[in-house]
Every structure is written in structure tokens, then in C-alpha cells.
Amino acid sequence: MVRTGRFFVEGAAEGIALVLAAPLSFWGGVAVESGEIIDRSHPDCGQNVAGRILVMAGGRGSSSSSSVLAETIRRGVAPAAIVLGRPDPILTVGALVARELYGLVCPIVVCAIDGVASGDRIRIEAVGADIAALHIGNPFSPPCGEKVARSAG
Amino acid sequence: MPLQLNALDTAMLNGDFGPAAASAMAILAAFSEAIGAPSLLDISRAHVDGCLYHGQASLDFVGRLAAQGGRVRVPTTLNVGSLDLIHPELIRLDSAQQAPRRRLMQAHEELGCVPSFTCAPYQTLFRPSFGEQIAWGESNAIVFANSAIGARTNRYGDFIDLCCAMTGRAPAWGLHLSENRRGRILFRIAGLKDSRAATDGLYVAVGLLIGAQAGEMIPVIEGLPPPRDEDQLKALGAAAASAGAVGLFHAVGITPEAPNLAEAFHGKAPEATVAIGPGDIAQALRQLSNAPDGAPVAAICLGTPHFSRREWERFLPLLRDFAPRAGVPIYVNTGRVTLAALEAEGLLDGANEYGLVAVADTCTYVTAILGRLDGVVMTNSGKWAHYAPGNIGVRVAFGEIEDCLASAAAGRVTRVSSW
């Protein structure tokens, strides 16, 4: 399946989806050393966001989440990309600052997230100004005719 | 529609005002584009919540702007940091942990920010006035500025508040615009006993209730008893911004944009109405405590948000009346300017005999200050009670200031107030 979204932070990414059951505050919710979800009240506590395509309805909570996202990007334990159901300025700022400071890109895309499941392979690419295409495939088959080996890097 | 930058914005973006301003404008423009703002507008002041250390990225961001010779373009106050620079002996961090935290606070000063280090900038000379366009960080300050003063700010946070300060600009969006300040959900308070009306706890409870239920909608409160002073509105806003995402509330007949119900809703009908009764108030306050009455007390924490001069003047005679001598420290967070004036006037003389520990520049729930975390901490702050168990792992009992002082005197959770 291919879905169109809007880039809030542009970039290409590919990885395995981690779809959260509830919005996550990075501040107080994600360990900056590891990317592990540590908010004990969150249904996905114990999962790890590092390297995943993080999919959730929206952001939540403190604006300090901008700093925490930037710090996880700096340490290399951030999601490969963040896909949101609705825009979130706090996460957008965190990713923008990391790009500005370190040249590291964690793309942020807003699109419909229904029908996406944890374990799906997602490839994100730019197809126009601010326009993202999300190629969403079953984890056991190559997405949209691409070779699986492509994701190794 | 793409973001429209004016000639000044474009010049800043192109580096005419130096590399730091260019970098700040690039981030501000991208953020504004992301939220769909059509343009930027001028701000007259800023309050930056960037001094709490969240890791190397915090320091890299500010350090680079400072190294580039950047300066803020509008008067800019600073929120609390992770250290008490006035009382460094209170901080239980080793020197390696303190170094980046101190550097972060210093780097902000190098940008020309005022070293206020307070979460209550509205208690300083930099208080905005009605209708002023500002860019503030810190959730309690934001809701106070919008609601109690009628100044206009969005809920700015990490990085972007400083980008606004460095450029003197903010996105023309959200609560900066009159049409977005319209009340949408009505909270109707009824059935309160007179004895309840004057208590600080009432304002905390109402804040918690609107914070939990308003969602994205701007709450309007009808039937709120007239507050004793603006500190009760401070407590209400801080609780609302802790329990939810409230950046602006209207209280009919009390806050400046709500002289009556119709004006609070801009002549439209509420989209939802919620009744608040005495049972809701009592339950909201009960939920703030996770320790039983009679439990041993390790400390009292007051001043979240920072104690105002008026709160000190109410607190100090009570402290001397209760005269606690059970060895329970009473931490009171406050702004360094407020504290310096009290000390210069001798108003705190002898108060340490009763366990008073004044804390400036920071707050007891964001850094390592408390000597003991094994007992119950009692507070009169809804915000402290909300965040401290998660931040520093303590058990909390919430009460009126008189309950806090009675507990300090007895060494265990004791209640003397009417609720």
C-alpha cells in the first residue's frame, strides 16, 4: 500500500513500524540512553523506538520533549522516522534542531495512520515539495517491488 | 499557503544580522511553516525555558548561538535552571554533573537574557501588560500571562522560545490571534459551601478538573469565587497546565477577557458544558495525595510556582505561629530578586530555626535538593503534587499551607483546615 503524507521534517527513511496504542511524551517517556519507552503508564512501555518507524496519533505532554527527541537523535537511538496522525510542533522542533546542529535527519510525516500495524515495513520518500510517499508493506514480502536487501543499510 | 516572510525576516534568514540570528530564523521559519502559520508577528518580550539540562543537545544548541555572538532582540527572562546558583550547597550533584548545568545557565546569559531563573516572570519587572504579544515558555507562566493578564502567547517550549527571543518574532497563529482565544467549553461550578470558597485548594482542584477535561478546547469557568489575590489564579493555572494542555482559561467576572459569559465565548454557544460540584472538588484533591494522614513527614515543599512577595507575607506570620521544631525542612522555592529583598529587609531572620530552607533559581522537583526521599513530602501545590512522584520518586500529601505547617510541627501528616 502506498499512502501520501505531508512532511514536517523532510527526509528519506526505511524501517519496521512501531505503532503505539497511545500518544507518547518523549520527556519522561523515552530513555535518551537507549530509546526505550519508560513511561510506566504507557501501554507500550518496554518497547524501544530506536531505528523504528514510530507511528502514533500525535504527540503529548511537555515541550521538553523537543530536547529529549534531539538528544536521542544525537545519540543515535531516535526513531528512523516519526509518522503522526496529526501535526505536533514539539516533536517537529526537536527534529529540526538536531538537523541544524548535527546534520542528522529524523523525518516527520503527518498522514492517516489507520491500517498500519507494528511490524510492517515502511519506506518513506519525498515525491514533491513537502509531499511524502509512504510505501507500507508486509514484513515478510518486499515492499512495493523493492528488494529487501535495500533496507539493510 | 506557504509562510510569508517580510523583508526583515528575510534579511535575518540571509545572515544580515549574523549567523546566530540566521540559524534562529531558519528554525522559527520551519516551525511556523510546519504549523501552518501564514506569517510572523512582532513580539515585545520572551521567557525562555531552556535552562533545565536534558542532555548535551540542550547545551550544544545554546552554546553554538553564544559562540556565534548571538544576542536576543527583545527583553528576555529565563526560567528555572537545574541548579540554585544562590545556594549552591543545597544541590546534591557532583561537580561533573553540575558543570554542564551551570554552563547552560551561563550561555543563556551570554545571549543577553536576564538571569531571573524563575518560573514566575510575571512577578518581575518584566511582567507583560494586557494585549501584549509575547513568546513565553513554561506552562504555568504561559497560562498566567494569557489568562490572568490577557497578554498573548502560544505554548512555546524548548528551542523555539529562544528562537523567538533571538529574532523578536513569533508565528501569527494560535493564541496570538483574537479569534483563537474564544472559550469553547463551559465549566459551571455550583453548590460550594462558603467555607470552601476562600481556600487555596479550591483553585487547585478547579485547575485539575479543567485541565483533565478541556482537551484542546479553551475552558471558561463560571461560578468561581473571586480569588483572594492573583496567586490563587496562579495555582489554578499551574494545576490546569499540569493535568492537561491548557494555555488559556477564562473565569467569568474575574479574568480580563471574560467580563461576562457572552464575551468569554465571543457570542457563540459552548460546545460542551461540565458541572463541577463539591464532590468533584473533594475527589480531585484526594487524588493528589498518595500518603495517608498520620504518615511521617520528610519535608514540606512550597513555592511551585515560585512564591510571590505576597505569599511570603502570608506565610511568614503563619510559620511563626505554628513554630515547627520537629526537624522537618520547609523548602520554599522563590525568585532570586524576591528573596534578596526579603533578606535585605530582615524578614527571614530567625526563620531557619523553624526549618525554613529558601530555594532560588530552581525548583525542588526538578533537581536533587531534598535530603530525604523516604518519607512523605507535603505540599500546597497541585503542580508539585502532580510531577514530583514521577520526577524524584516521593510520596506526596497535598494540603493547605496551614496543613503543611501543622504537619511540619507534628512531624506527621496533620490536617487543620476545613476540608
Quick one: pLDDT band at residue A138, thresholds 50, 70, 90? confident
The minimal CB distance from A70 to the residues B34, B52, B57 is found for B57
Cα B41 to Cα B29, B32, B44, B261: the distances in Å are: 12, 11, 10, 30
Contact residues, chain A, for B139 at CB < 8 Å: 62-63
Q: Report the C-alpha gap between B305 and B204 in whole angstroms.
A: 12
Residue B60 DSSP one-character state: H
Phi-psi sector, B142: left (phi>0), alpha (psi -120 to 50), beta: alpha
Nearest chain B CA: its distance from A146 CA (Å): 31
What values do phi and psi take at B305, rounded to 5? -65, 165
A62, A68, A93 member nearest B160 (Cβ): A93
- Alpha-carbon B282 to chain mean position: 24
| Residue at grid coordinates 489568562 | B147
Q: How far is C-alpha B186 from the geometric centre of its chain's CA atoms?
A: 24
Is it the case that residue A145 has pLDDT exceeding 50? no
Taking the C-alpha atoms of residue B164 and residue B162, their distance in angstroms, rounded to an integer, is 5
Confidence of residue A151 (pLDDT cuts 50, 70, 90): very low
Grid cell 527527541 — which residue? A69
Is the pLDDT reported for residue A63 higher than 80? no
- Say how far apart CA B327 and CA B333 lie, in whole Å: 19
Complete DSSP assignment for A3-20: EEEEEEE---EEEEEEE-
Of the pLDDT bands very low, low, confident and very high (cuts 50, 70, 90), residue A142 is: low
Residue B64: which of A9, A65, A101 has the nearest Cβ? Answer: A101
Confidence of residue A97 (pLDDT cuts 50, 70, 90): very high
Where do the H-state alpha helices sit in chain A? Answer: 65-75, 89-102
Among residues A34, A41, A62, A65, the one annotated as catalytic is: A62
Q: Which domains are delineated in chain A?
A: 16-111 (3.50.30.10)
**What are φ and ψ of residue A79, in 5° steps?**
-60, 155
Q: What is this model's ipTM? A: 0.82
pLDDT digits (tens, 9 = 90+) for A13-50: 999 999 999 888 898 789 999 999 988 778 999 999 99
User: In this complex, do B159 and A101 lie within 8 Å of one another by their Cβ atoms?
Assistant: no
For residue A39, give the nearest of A75, A68, A4, A82 by alpha carbon.
A68
Please say whether the beta carbons of B114 and B392 come within 8 A.
Answer: no
User: What pLDDT score does B419 carry?
Assistant: 56
Query: How far apart, in whole angstroms, are the C-alpha atoms of residue B276 and residue B274?
Result: 7
Of B26, B56, B390, the CB nearest to A71: B56
Contact A97 B57 (CB under 8 A): yes
Residue A141 above 60 pLDDT? no
| Residue A135 CB neighbours (<10 A) | 17
The C-alpha cell that represents B130 in the structure block: 494586557
CB contact under 8 A, B55 and A96: no
Contact (CB<8Å) B23/A100: yes
Question: Would residue A62 show up in a list of annotated catalytic residues for this protein?
Answer: yes
Contact between B266 and B297 under an 8 Å Cβ cutoff? The reply is no
Write out chain B's pLDDT in tens, 419 residues: 689 999 999 999 999 999 999 999 999 998 898 788 999 999 999 999 999 998 899 999 999 999 999 999 999 999 999 999 999 999 999 999 999 999 999 999 999 999 999 999 999 999 999 999 999 999 999 999 999 999 999 999 889 999 999 999 999 999 999 999 999 999 999 999 876 667 999 999 999 999 999 988 999 999 999 999 999 999 999 999 988 889 999 999 999 999 999 999 999 999 999 999 999 999 999 999 999 999 999 999 999 999 999 999 999 999 999 999 999 999 999 999 999 999 999 999 999 999 999 999 999 988 889 988 888 999 999 999 988 887 788 999 999 999 999 999 999 999 998 65
B7: number of Cβ within 10 Å: 7
> Closest Cα of chain A to B345: distance in Å?
37
SS3 annotation, A29-55:
CECCCCCEECCCCCCCCCCECCCCEEE
Q: Say yes or no: B35 contacts chain A, CB-CB below 8 A.
A: yes
| Residues composing chain A | 153
Cell numbers standing for residue B59: 547545551
Dist. CA A123–CA A90, nearest whole Å: 24
Q: Which residues of B touch A100 (CB under 8 A)?
A: 23, 26-27
